[in-house]
Structure 1
Amino acid sequence: MGLLSKDALENLKKYAYKGVDKSLVSKYVLNPFWTWFVTLWPLSVAPNTITLSGLCIVLFNFGTIFVYDPAYLAEKGGVDVPRWVYFSCGVGLFLYQTFDAIDGKQARRTGMAGPLGEMFDHGCDAMNTTLEVILASQALNLGRSWWTVASQIATLANFYLTTWEEYHTGQLYLAEFSGPVEGILLICSIFIITGFYGPSFWDQGIISLLHLTNVPFINQLPDLPLNDSFMVFGAFGVCFNVLSSYGNVRRAMRAAGKSTTRPLLLLLPFLVSASIQVFWLIHPRYDTPALIQSALFVPFLCAWGLQFAHQVGRMILAHVTRGPFPSWDWMWVWNMVFAVDANLPLLFDRPSIIQTDAKWRAAVVYLTLAVSFFAYARFCTLVINEITNFYGKKGEDGVWKDAVPDEKRKT
């Protein structure tokens, strides 16, 4: 059975992208550059090809990091990653941002703008989010730590909020300081600084670095390491985005004469998903290292990221088809089963039934990664097939019969 009903497919005809970008950096610096850069691409290049090229660059950076630091320990584990790797991560992320920005411009140049393009764009963004969390945490010398988990939660929360906001308002809002613009440039800067000074640079106390240790009152404050300070800054950013996104949703709901509090319930799916993942991570193990301290930490984060990409993909699909908001995910049951199994010593003072040793725990984590990948891949395949089949149907004579106008069918 297909994912989309006939009414949902018909609603695709009514979809039109709307966005608001209040960033001064985007308006006066990046957008003129993007407008010029897109002209370098032939009209024969599909917008989604540009988007995918950007993601491939990030995947290359991801692979490069783990060639030199396969255990994900950075300098805290005595691993010396060549400095050029961090420079390449900074350049790669900037190129990803650039490609991500011009794919829409290329779509308008070629007449290929449409809902499938937006879904593909958001899907790549969702996958890139977790990849950059892992890469940036390594560059910040955080490695296997709860700070990396906190960074994952904060970054995914920002993305979820933006998608949740777009679903309810019909517009993609980018504030004066947003993740896709200033946030990415900030992470690029982190990579470049790490390239010059190494990951241990971020272990310095912020007060010591600024030579404020002798300044009254300031010297009484905790001398937080730079990497920890960056995480605190991110927490404030999440709080600001929650208030900003809800303000936009509240205004949209009031204008439509709908409840202004009901949309808040649709934030619960993210909280449920993140809580299950954290519950799995906190499991007590006395015979093997805790999951967060083991080599399984990165595969675990990748599985989490794929599940999140699937979650927001369904949200975007609901947005472009005007369907109901997806509030349930069967992967929660999968994750909860193994989270409870891992925590049986804590909950009932009895050993795990499935994850009885390190070998079985590794099998479960990698199986979860595989299931997450195939579930998301299946979703993408079904959506692409159903939408493209709706936009054009091939007759017995081999000729495409238009279901919608030609410029829409090109999508």
Structure 2
Amino acid sequence: MGYIPAAALQNLKKYSYKGVDKSVLSKYVLNPFWNWFVTLWPLSVAPNTITFLGLCIVFLNFMTMIYYDPAYLTEKGGVVLPRWAYFSWSIGLFLYQSFDAIDGKQARRTGMAGPLGEMFDHGCDAINTTLEAILACHALNLGRSWWTVVSQMATLANFYLTTWEEYHTGQLYLGVFSGPVEGILMIVGIYAISGTYGPSFWDTGVLTFLHLTDAPLANKLPDLPLNDLFMVFAACGLGFNVLSSYRNVRRAMITSNKSTTWPILLLMPFVASAGIQMFWLMHPRYDDSAIINSTLFVPFLCAWGLQFAHQVGRMILAHVTSSRFPWWDWMWVWSLVAAIDANLPLLAGRAPLMQTSAANRAVVVYLTLAISLAAYVRFCTLVIHDITNFMGIACFTVRKRDKDGVWQDTTPAADGKKKV
């Protein structure tokens, strides 16, 4: 069973990427760097290879955190990561941003631009979104807290909004301040500061940091920690992005004489999926601990992130194939069952059926992680198979034209000859 209906395959040939980037930083600083950086890559390197290498760097950063802090405890919990780890995260994220920016340029250099690259790029971005949210909260000394949960939700919401907007407007819109540009560079800076002063730096009050504690009326203002202040800033940014995305979608709907109400209803799938995860996470403490206070916190967030990647992956697929918006995802059923089971003490006044102990709850969470990973891998495999077979291309192979203008596959065959 594939994800692309046979009737929608023909739309793949009609797809062309459209994007708008209004970032001044991107235009005058980063783009000149990216234009130079892409020239360092041989034309024999496929654009998807560059994208995947960027994601591998992020995985390496994530595994560094898991190695030194498997329980996901920041300095408040007695775990101190080596300072070089945060610097490596800073460099790794900057490289990811650079690789993510030049894969499209490499695709145009090699004549490989198309829907497969769009799918692959967004698929890697969806995974990176969760991993960076976890890493950033560790660097901000937030650790296992509701701030980390809110950060995860806000980050995923921003990604969903961008995908939702692209589906309805037909183009990727990056404003004067966007997550893929300025947002990433802010996190790069956070990692560097944590590497220099340690994550506990972010617990410093903003008035203390600015040396304003003795200023007039300072005693009437909250000395909000810098990490909490960053969360407030992120919430304001989310609100701004909601209004900006809706304005662009509304304009597109009016131009095409379509309903301006229906797109708003298509935001509900994210609300529903995030609500299920929060419902599970907020279960009553029926034993010694809850997910948010245990080593299950990171596996839970990763499972949530994989389910989200499956959800937005189907949205991008609907965009490139001009198909109906996917408002339903079967992965919700498993999480909803687990959430109801965990909340049975509240809903029915009885103990859970599956999560009867900390050990059993661990089994359910890790099983959810495994199922979510399997579902997303299956989605990626089937979509790549369908697109490459239909369009006669390969995911990690650059094709060249022969003298007659026919695309050739440069992958060596078993007999050592190049196959067509």
Q: Same fold (TM over 0.5)?
A: yes
Q: Deviations over 1:261-309 (max 9, x none)?
A: 1100000000000000000001112322111110000000000000111
The 1-side partners of 2:407 and 2:23 are apart by: 31
User: Deviation of residue 345 (structure 1)?
Assistant: 1.0
Name 1:133's counterpart in structure 2. Answer: 133
SS in 1 for 2:187: helix
Q: Deviations over 1:223-249 (max 9, x none)?
A: 111111100100000000000000000
The 2-side partners of 1:232 and 1:409 are apart by: 51
The 1-side partners of 2:253 and 2:49 are apart by: 36
Q: Which one-letter code corresponds to 1:255 in the other structure?
A: T
Unpaired segments of 5 or more residues in structure 1?
A: 394-404
SS in 2 for 1:31: helix
Name 2:110's counterpart in structure 1. Answer: 110
The 2-side partners of 1:284 and 1:347 are apart by: 10
User: Deviation of residue 222 (structure 1)?
Assistant: 1.2
User: Deviation of residue 218 (structure 1)?
Assistant: 4.2
User: Deviation of residue 321 (structure 1)?
Assistant: 0.3
Q: Which one-letter code corresponds to 2:237 in the other structure?
A: G
Q: What pairs with 1:58-73 in structure 2 (closer than 5 Å)?
A: 58-73=58-73
SS in 1 for 2:240: helix
User: Deviation of residue 217 (structure 1)?
Assistant: 3.4
User: Deviation of residue 208 (structure 1)?
Assistant: 1.1
Name 2:305's counterpart in structure 1. Answer: 305
Name 1:4's counterpart in structure 2. Answer: 4
Q: Deviations over 1:139-198 (max 9, x none)?
A: 101000000000000000000000000000000000100000000000000000000000
User: Deviation of residue 408 (structure 1)?
Assistant: 11
SS in 2 for 1:378: helix
User: Deviation of residue 6 (structure 1)?
Assistant: 2.5
Q: What pairs with 1:215-294 in structure 2 (closer than 5 Å)?
A: 215-294=215-294
The answer to whether the 8 A contact 1:51-1:124 is kept is yes
What is the total number of aligned residue pairs between the two structures? 400
- The answer to which of 329-338 and 24-33 deviates more is 329-338
Q: Deviations over 1:119-149 (max 9, x none)?
A: 0000000000000000000010100000000
- The answer to which of 59-68 and 212-221 deviates more is 212-221
Q: Which one-letter code corresponds to 1:290 in the other structure?
A: A
User: Deviation of residue 106 (structure 1)?
Assistant: 0.3
Name 2:319's counterpart in structure 1. Answer: 319
1:23 matched to 2:35: no
Q: CA 1:156/1:409 → structure 2, altered by over 3 Å: closer, same or farther?
A: farther
User: Deviation of residue 219 (structure 1)?
Assistant: 3.6
Q: Which one-letter code corresponds to 1:281 in the other structure?
A: L
The 2-side partners of 1:406 and 1:347 are apart by: 64
The answer to whether the 8 A contact 2:85-2:195 is kept is yes
SS in 1 for 2:13: helix
The 2-side partners of 1:218 and 1:406 are apart by: 72
User: Deviation of residue 67 (structure 1)?
Assistant: 1.1
The answer to whether the 8 A contact 2:136-2:191 is kept is yes
The 1-side partners of 2:227 and 2:289 are apart by: 24
User: Deviation of residue 216 (structure 1)?
Assistant: 2.4
Name 2:194's counterpart in structure 1. Answer: 194
User: Deviation of residue 315 (structure 1)?
Assistant: 0.3
User: Deviation of residue 409 (structure 1)?
Assistant: 9.3
SS in 2 for 1:25: helix
Q: CA 1:407/1:273 → structure 2, altered by over 3 Å: closer, same or farther?
A: farther
The 2-side partners of 1:102 and 1:180 are apart by: 13
User: Deviation of residue 211 (structure 1)?
Assistant: 1.0
Name 1:171's counterpart in structure 2. Answer: 171
**TM-score calculated relative to the size of structure 1:** 0.95
The answer to whether the 8 A contact 2:269-2:327 is kept is yes
The 1-side partners of 2:287 and 2:320 are apart by: 49
Q: Which one-letter code corresponds to 1:13 in the other structure?
A: K
SS in 1 for 2:233: helix
The 1-side partners of 2:287 and 2:388 are apart by: 52
The answer to whether the 8 A contact 2:286-2:345 is kept is no
The answer to whether the 8 A contact 1:73-1:144 is kept is yes
Structure 1 vs Structure 2 CA RMSD: 1.5
SS in 2 for 1:173: strand
Q: Which one-letter code corresponds to 1:303 in the other structure?
A: A
The 2-side partners of 1:168 and 1:334 are apart by: 29
SS in 2 for 1:369: helix
The 2-side partners of 1:2 and 1:85 are apart by: 41
Q: CA 1:267/1:408 → structure 2, altered by over 3 Å: closer, same or farther?
A: farther
1:99 matched to 2:99: yes
Q: Which one-letter code corresponds to 1:217 in the other structure?
A: L
The answer to whether the 8 A contact 2:17-2:171 is kept is yes
Q: Which one-letter code corresponds to 2:330 in the other structure?
A: W
Q: Deviations over 1:92-123 (max 9, x none)?
A: 00000000000000000000000011100000
Name 1:397's counterpart in structure 2. Answer: none
SS in 2 for 1:104: helix
Q: Which one-letter code corresponds to 1:58 in the other structure?
A: V
Name 1:400's counterpart in structure 2. Answer: none
- The answer to which of 4-13 and 182-191 deviates more is 4-13
The 1-side partners of 2:223 and 2:354 are apart by: 43
The 2-side partners of 1:62 and 1:370 are apart by: 18
The answer to whether the 8 A contact 2:345-2:352 is kept is yes
Identity of aligned residues (%): 73
Q: Which one-letter code corresponds to 2:211 in the other structure?
A: H
User: Deviation of residue 329 (structure 1)?
Assistant: 0.7
Q: Which one-letter code corresponds to 1:216 in the other structure?
A: P
- The answer to which of 279-288 and 106-115 deviates more is 279-288
User: Deviation of residue 5 (structure 1)?
Assistant: 2.0
The answer to whether the 8 A contact 2:127-2:306 is kept is yes
The answer to whether the 8 A contact 1:111-1:407 is kept is no
The answer to whether the 8 A contact 1:163-1:315 is kept is yes
Q: Which one-letter code corresponds to 1:368 in the other structure?
A: T
Q: CA 1:220/1:27 → structure 2, altered by over 3 Å: closer, same or farther?
A: same
Q: What pairs with 1:326-345 in structure 2 (closer than 5 Å)?
A: 326-345=326-345
